[in-house]
Structure 1
Amino acid sequence: MAARDLNFTAYSHVELFEDDDHEVIESFHEHTKMSPKSCLDVGHRVSKIVADPNILAMMNRSWKVYPAARKQLLNKAAPLGDMSLQTALRERRSVGAFGARLLPTPMTLDQLSAMLMHSYGAIRELPWKAAHENGGFGRPAASAGGLYPIEIYPVVLNVEGLTPGIYHYNVPEHALHCVREGGGSDSLLAELKECTTYHDLLQDAAVVFLLTGVWKRTLSKYHQRGYRFMLHDAGTLVQNLYLTGTALELGTCALGGMFDNRTAELLDTNPLEEPVLLGFVAGGRPAAWTPNGAKA
């Protein structure tokens, strides 16, 4: 199709590539629509859940655990800084948007702790949940039904005081569980580069957050519609990572182009039960994007 044939006022209705096949997407959208009938189905599910304290307690425990892993407790009081929300929203950037690269500077353990706590941590008590096993806290990220299907695996490359490796974020403990020692940051970086084409963004990253979704947590309540909700949850978390990273004057960027199966192999997760959703890099913020807008 020639550019002269495009209708720029109705771009969303243009087929840019004539051989595109949207059958899979159209089928997914149709099968995950809400209707009066599907609402009734969700209502029946909720009634059964509420009537069973054991199910309630299980669903309230929305996180994975690695009991045999080496544990690194994080500082719950790590400061986020005093940047206003308005400034953080205005200064938020994706580092790779215009060819910029992260600076090869380490993150501090407190910076990593603050990003995790204020993006996805247990930041407040919820007394009405306290009766359920392992419950009783709320998080800064919204989640459909409070089911929190997203898991965070920080791949640590250059954080002061933390051995390079693949970690899992344990929310209630505000701790990192080391699920695999890295064998050095260079070795880990090489493995990460096999999981995506974003090699420039990975090169100087201090941390690469890999996000997965335990989709059955949400589908158990919301049936097939729950898959959409899981993706919404991931988007909410990513925006929190952007804003907290900006408040800490870090460079950040979401990575949508992760190779699903290779990344699952790196994490040793089941790609059918806990699919990889996306990655997110954090590290030294390029000088041209300082919060005061000064150019390098």
Structure 2
Amino acid sequence: MLIRRCAVLLLEPREETQFHLEQLLRGGDGLVRTLRCMALAPHLEAPIELDQEASAWLATLSPNVWIRLEPGSHQEELALPLVQAGLLVSKDDDDSDLARRDTRLRTVYWHPLAAVMHAFSRWDGVDAVRNMQESETETAEQMRQTLGEPPPEAKVMSLKGASTVLPEVDGNAFDALLSRRVTCRNFDPMRPVPLNMFAQMLQRTFGSRTRFKVGEDLVFLKKNVPSGGGLHPIEAYLVVQNVEGLDPGLYHYRGDTHELERLPSDVAIDRDFVMELVGQQHWFADAHVLVVLAPRFERTFWKYRQHAKSYRVVAMEAGHLSQTLYLAATDAGLGAFITAAINEKHAERALKLDTIAEGVLAVCGFGWRAGSMTTTELDPAGVIWHPAPA
């Protein structure tokens, strides 16, 4: 039997704590702590618990060099459940689904720590609102009471005589636009977004202004946001709910050609789908358009191979895109939002993404703002929701 270890593996000694009344009555602190060894392999969907012998043996195996195990040996006996779990790859079964996912991970050039972090920070079936309610952190007042004193809102260096008070500069139209940039949590589901406005939003945020070709197959797109290496890996998948002339459903925006592609889907794109997508955050569920920001990691990792910064520049690009979306929406008189409290696996299944080479980072969206504020929005200056006269 020829085997090798999977491409990326992190062994995590994980301590779990439970309250036991008996332990408290015997004079202890009532807490029973259990130490478990968990194997985190990003080509797998969940961590796998290992015993001490298996974890110690795995740590000695190469992810690249095949080794032969003698038939009937203790090591072969130890290897069989690890092959079945996907932590080892057998040369005799290297066409299995788990083995193919391991091979795919090798060809995408993930940095190992980034691959583990991305794979195991994805949600599925999480209710973010209920979590806040149960942890008593739903409102600012609750957060202060539950979490205690927060770090200060700004860092003060306390360097006497070393600071310079800068002049206040008169604002212009751009400053006025920035002041109106407020995260929208109240959308008007009765008023559709015009098709031209929808098209302008996509063109400004995700569209390409020009293209530059090098050789036969290397093409760089010039967009309105910066991108690591100029590679622009993030795709925009749209959940269209209320746009004039478009049927509700799932779409993909082609930024290079300014085209909208309707995705074939057997998933019902209804309120339940949207609520699950945004982690039950009902204040975003009525947005006219929701945009799933889904990077093709292999595009960036093609240049930055197993690079410690490669995942970071992709995440930064999602921030650039969301801010551009906010400003484009504000300029058009629309509201916008972005959230990372999402069920990524729900989106991956609906979009049929290759979860080794592609993924979901965040969901943003836009639409007409409602006429009244039902859910609180952070607008302390009253630029959007004008305070009532005293």
TM-score (norm 2): 0.48
CA distance in 2, matches of 1:214, 1:183: 22
1:246-285 superposed matches below 5 A: 246-285=330-369
CA distance in 2, matches of 1:91, 1:261: 33
Alignment partner of 1:114 out of 193, 200, 207:
200
Distance 1:132 1:189, change over 3 A: farther
Contact kept in structure 1, 2:231 and 2:300, CA below 8 Å:
yes
Size of the alignment, in residue pairs? Answer: 208
- What's 1:86 paired with? 175
State the superposition RMSD in angstroms.
Answer: 2.9
Distance 1:103 1:182, change over 3 A: farther
Per-residue deviation, residues 64-93 of structure 1 (Å, max 9, x unmatched):
xxxxxxxxxxxxxxxxxxx94322212111
- What's 2:321 paired with? 237
Contact kept in structure 1, 2:265 and 2:350, CA below 8 Å:
no
SS of structure 2 residue aligned to 1:194: helix
1:91-110 superposed matches below 5 A: 91-96=180-185, 101-104=186-189, 105-110=191-196
- What's 2:230 paired with? 146
SS of structure 1 residue aligned to 2:270: helix
What percent of counterpart residues are identical? 29
Alignment partner of 2:301 out of 219, 224, 240:
219
Per-residue deviation, residues 10-64 of structure 1 (Å, max 9, x unmatched):
xxxxxxxxx9xxxxxxxxxxxxxxxxxxxxxxxxxxxxxxxxxxxxxxxxxxxxx
> Which runs of no fewer than 5 residues in structure 1 stay unpaired?
1-18, 20-82
Deviation, structure 1 residue 213: 1.0
**Is 1:207 matched up with 2:255?**
no
SS of structure 1 residue aligned to 2:357: coil
> Which runs of no fewer than 5 residues in structure 2 stay unpaired?
1-32, 34-171, 373-378
TM-score (norm 1): 0.63
Higher helix share: 1
Distance 1:198 1:132, change over 3 A: farther
1:27-42 superposed matches below 5 A: none
Q: Which has the higher contact order (CA 8 A, sep 6+)?
A: 1
Deviation, structure 1 residue 130: 7.1
- What's 2:155 paired with? none
Distance 1:134 1:162, change over 3 A: farther
CA distance in 1, matches of 2:365, 2:266: 17
- What's 2:277 paired with? 195
Contact kept in structure 2, 1:264 and 1:275, CA below 8 Å:
yes
Matching residue's letter, 1:120: F
SS of structure 2 residue aligned to 1:208: strand
Query: Rg bigger for which structure?
Result: 2
Deviation, structure 1 residue 182: 8.1
SS of structure 1 residue aligned to 2:361: strand
Per-residue deviation, residues 199-239 of structure 1 (Å, max 9, x unmatched):
42233211111111111211221232211111011111111
- What's 1:76 paired with? none
Per-residue deviation, residues 147-187 of structure 1 (Å, max 9, x unmatched):
11100001100100111110000012101100136888xx4
Matching residue's letter, 1:103: D
Contact kept in structure 2, 1:89 and 1:243, CA below 8 Å:
yes
